[in-house]
Structure 1
Amino acid sequence: MVHIFSPSNARSRVARLAVSTLTLAMVLALSGCASTPPPDGSMNQAQMQLQAARDADAQVYDPIDLGNAQDKFMQAQNAMAKRDYDVAAQLADEARASAELARAKARLGAARAQIQSKTAANQQLRDQIEQSLAEQQQQDQNQPSNLPPQEQTPDMPAPPSSALGEPIPQGQGFQTYPQNPPPNQPAPASSTDQGGHL
């Protein structure tokens, strides 16, 4: 069998090879784009954290980290526009982390400011109380007292220890009587029996 080689047959093979190569290149390019979806979730989280940091007054207490987060988020948006989703996802995560840091520092700064404010208010109250007490003492010293001067009473000497140890003579001191005396014992004399009337 004899093959006849014609130039048209070679062109068709080259054309088929070029078409198949282009088709393969397009399939690979599309599969590469399809393998990395847009990082919409990361972008949304970064945007929410940025808003939370702004709400916590991060522009006052931590403007550096807030600015860094905003810059990273803008870079992530630019990467999204270029469909460079891997870079966009990484930048969105960095923006979210910087925004969280800015928010935490802002909350800490606000708490410190509140503590300093309360401390200053407490000190002012202490100063007012001390001033009021000093004025009251000054008034008390300047006003004449209407009360008579207190007389000092002489101290009573304590009895000697020998007197404390002696027994009490009969008829002096306290005497106890049973509440229910025996029937053959006479009842003690009371003040009414001695002629006193109650």
Structure 2
Amino acid sequence: MVHIFSRPSGRIGRTGRMAGGLVLAVALLALAGCASVPPPDTSMNQAQALLQSARDAGAADYDPVDLGFAQAKFQQAQTAMAARKYADAANLAEEARADAELARTRAQLGSARAQIQAKVEENHRLRQQTGQAPAQPAPAAAPASGSSAPETLQDMPAPSASVLSAPLPQNGGFQPVPAPSASTHTNDGGQR
């Protein structure tokens, strides 16, 4: 006799399919939960703090281009945060932070240069008031006429500690270290 096996009909078949689908849905949700990126709150806060620091350092005056880049990237990061695209927001916040740091550093450099220039001009003005001529090397040829040419500011001389020593010989690049003579070393590596 031949027995033909058929699928069970009714509740048992539907329950098995529903249980399988439920297990699959739970597994997908678990994987999706593990793959999500947390909001980059720390990166956003750091970028915002550096943007403010760059503005305070005068980046709007000394480096408006990099400050503009930083502000634009920060706004894009805020938009990505609102759309819950946290990986994009983290990347954009990091770029905004780097641009803001560059703008702040360039602003500090520009400010320092302006302060130096102001001090040089103040020193020049004080020397003129006291009647002292600035310590500058004499020109090679003095003007023959009695007219005075306008003085130009010259770079500060290098300190005496920066004087270079005599140049090394250039006959072949690096000089090899002389090989030890046989009279000072024994075969076992020790000295005599």
CA shift in 2, pair 1:4/1:31, >3 Å = closer
CA shift in 2, pair 1:120/1:19, >3 Å = same
- Partner residue of 1:60? 61
Q: Hey, what's the Cα distance between the residues in 2 that align with 1:92 and 1:104? A: 18
- Partner residue of 1:186? none
Q: Hey, what's the Cα distance between the residues in 1 that align with 2:114 and 2:28? A: 61
Decide which structure has the larger Cα Rg and report it: 1
TM-score (norm 2): 0.59
Q: Which has the higher helix share?
A: 1
Q: What's the offset of the Cα at 1:20? A: 1.9
Counterpart of 2:115 in structure 1: which amino acid?
A: Q
Q: Hey, what's the Cα distance between the residues in 2 that align with 1:6 and 1:45? A: 63
Q: What's the offset of the Cα at 1:85? A: 2.0
Q: What's the offset of the Cα at 1:63? A: 0.7
- Partner residue of 1:126? 127
1:27 to 30, 37, 40: 30
CA shift in 2, pair 1:106/1:5, >3 Å = same
Q: What's the offset of the Cα at 1:48? A: 0.9
Counterpart of 1:28 in structure 2: which amino acid?
A: L
Q: Hey, what's the Cα distance between the residues in 2 that align with 1:123 and 1:32? A: 66
Q: Hey, what's the Cα distance between the residues in 2 that align with 1:66 and 1:3? A: 74
Across the aligned residues of Structure 1 and Structure 2, the Cα RMSD in angstroms comes to 2.3
**Does the alignment pair 1:43 with 2:44?**
yes
Q: Hey, what's the Cα distance between the residues in 2 that align with 1:63 and 1:3? A: 78
- Partner residue of 1:183? none
- Counterpart mapping for 1:1-198 below 5 A: 5-33=8-36, 36-130=37-131
Q: Hey, what's the Cα distance between the residues in 2 that align with 1:126 and 1:21? A: 86
**Unaligned 5+ residue runs, structure 2?**
133-192
Cα distance per residue 1:73-118 (max 9 Å; x no partner): 1122122222222222222121111111111110110111111112
CA shift in 2, pair 1:123/1:59, >3 Å = same
Q: Hey, what's the Cα distance between the residues in 2 that align with 1:96 and 1:6? A: 64
Give the length in aligned residue pairs: 129
**Unaligned 5+ residue runs, structure 1?**
132-198
Q: Hey, what's the Cα distance between the residues in 2 that align with 1:4 and 1:56? A: 78
TM-score (norm 1): 0.58
